[in-house]
Amino acid sequence: MPEMKFTTGPWRPNLHHTQEQAGRTYGFIHAGTAVPIAAVTLGVEGMPQDEGRANARLIAATPELYNALKAITDCYGVGYKSADKFVEDVHDFMIEGRAALAKARGEI
């Protein structure tokens, strides 16, 4: 599998220090530095700010969602010698996946 070239996580949405420009409100996604890696439209005519904020949280959860999905797909076809080990791994992947989904929903 090719090496991933995106900025590693965790990413976090900054929805408190917004910027207004041309009738739009922007929030930012940060990856551990003051320099944002992405800007997200939070408010524009026809799109409620709640939807823009939800989009920002989903984008910020991308590294965790990617890692959880990669872990699940990597275990497929591995040829586990023990059903217990398989169940243990899947359980761990589910915990990672649930945490990533909770982050995307803004619960953590």
What pLDDT sits at residue 13?
A: 93
**51 and 1 fall within a common domain:** yes
| Per-residue pLDDT, 1 | 56
Q: Annotate 25-37 with b (16+ C-beta within 10 A) or e (fewer).
A: bbbbbbbeeeebe
pLDDT of residue 2: 66
Comparing C-alpha atoms, which of 50, 26, 46 is closest to residue 38?
Answer: 26
End-to-end CA distance of the chain: 31
- Taking 70 as the pLDDT cut, the residues of the chain under it are 1-2, 77
Q: What angle do CA 10, 66, 14 make, to 5 degrees?
A: 35
Could you tell me if 72 and 86 lie in one domain? yes
Same domain, 10 and 46: yes
Report the predicted TM-score, pTM, of the whole model to 2 decimal places. 0.80
What angle (nearest 5°) sits at the alpha carbon of residue 42, between those of residues 102 and 13? 40
Measured CA to CA, the distance from residue 55 to residue 70 in angstroms comes to 22
Q: How many domains does the chain have?
A: 2
Do 11 and 35 share a domain, yes or no? yes
* Same domain, residue pair 16 and 29: yes
Domain that holds residue 104: 61-108
Query: Do residues 47 and 80 share a domain?
Result: no
Q: How many of the other CB atoms lie within 10 Å of CB of 51?
A: 13
Residues 4 and 50 in one domain: yes
